[in-house]
Chains A and B, each alone.
Chain A
Amino acid sequence: MSEHSHKHGECRELLKDLSDYVDGDLDETLCLEIEQHMAECDNCRVVVDTLRRTVDLYHTLPPEPMPGEVEARLLRRLELSEYLIVQ
């Protein structure tokens, strides 16, 4: 984090708690501290917003279903082919 109008160390200190803050796992006092800091520190606000956006983006990734052929080979390997049908 650069070009700060306040102490660089405060950003470093708060950095370790930002994931918990984004997840809503932080206690009220620390939340308030981060929010007060962000009101004065644009860089930290950007880091929080983009960290949250990163988590949201990955959450929207579509599921990767097991392809039918892979499932069929898995069943054969486990000697469960009797439950397999060709649709």
Chain B
Amino acid sequence: MPGLTIDLNIYADEEALIEALKRGEKYACACMIKHHGSQMYAVALRIVGDADEAEEVVQEAFISACSKMDSFEGRSKLSTWLYRITTNAALMRLRKRREDTVSLDEPQVMDEGDLLPRQLGDWSVEPGQQALSSELRQVMEQAVQELPPSLRAAFVLRNVQGLSTQEAAEALDITETALKVRLHRARLQLRERLADYLVEQREEVTA
């Protein structure tokens, strides 16, 4: 298995790493990949939903980041800036895919009526819920793919990658209020999808 021979301690802190990146040091670029590569790959994969495309997105993102360090003004953390570049590249990829194929399955923008909870079975406490089964995990991943892209990106950044509301809003270049609206819509839609599966599972067990 290939790996990176990088000593992450060579730069005292993020500021030192950023200075080295701005000087165009190749070692700093490799260091940035070692530090943030997996996070960016994870976010790309969950937005585009395809491993090959996620790889292309990450390549585009790091090429852009390494060549445009001068445009990094240091107003956000380096990781937030990278998330922004990666998320933009991933969303662009989805836009291009939409232009290439006219899909009847394209998720539609929800209206207010769609937000009203439909599934009211209580699956918040399920026996045996400690472990995330592979089937449930698959349902969860599929449910994320069914979200409209803008909601998907907001949810992945905030609730899967664990960015703060402020960081996720910065990464998407939207206000925190707009981020929260997207997040809420995404969560309600995901709740419905998980409920469809988990309530059915519970009925099968008790039948």
Taking Cβ atoms with an 8 Å cutoff, the residues of A that contact B are: 1-2, 12, 15-16, 18-20, 23, 25, 43, 46-47, 49-55, 57-61, 63-66, 68-75, 77-80, 82-87
Contact = CB atoms under 8 A, between A and B. Distances in A.
Interface in B77-125: 115-117, 119-125
A85 B46 contact: no
Give the size range of B's interface with the partner: 35 or more
Contacts of A85: 2-5
Nearest to A50: B124
Given A58-B140, A58-B190, A84-B4, 13 more contacts: A20-B180, A43-B120, A50-B122, A57-B132, A66-B58, A70-B58, A71-B2, A74-B58, A75-B4, A80-B26, A80-B30, A83-B27, A85-B2
B59 A77 contact: yes
A7 B81 CA distance: 46
A71 B5 CA distance: 12
Given A77-B63, A80-B29, A87 B45 contact: no
B55 A54 contact: no
A16 B3 contact: no
Interface stretch (B16-24, B34-42, B167-175): B34-42
Contact of A1 (B42, B63, B116, B180): B116
Nearest to A80: B30
Contact of B1 (A43, A49, A53, A87): A87
Q: Which 7 A-B pairs have the closest CB atoms?
A: A49-B124, A66-B41, A19-B184, A72-B2, A64-B42, A68-B1, A83-B30
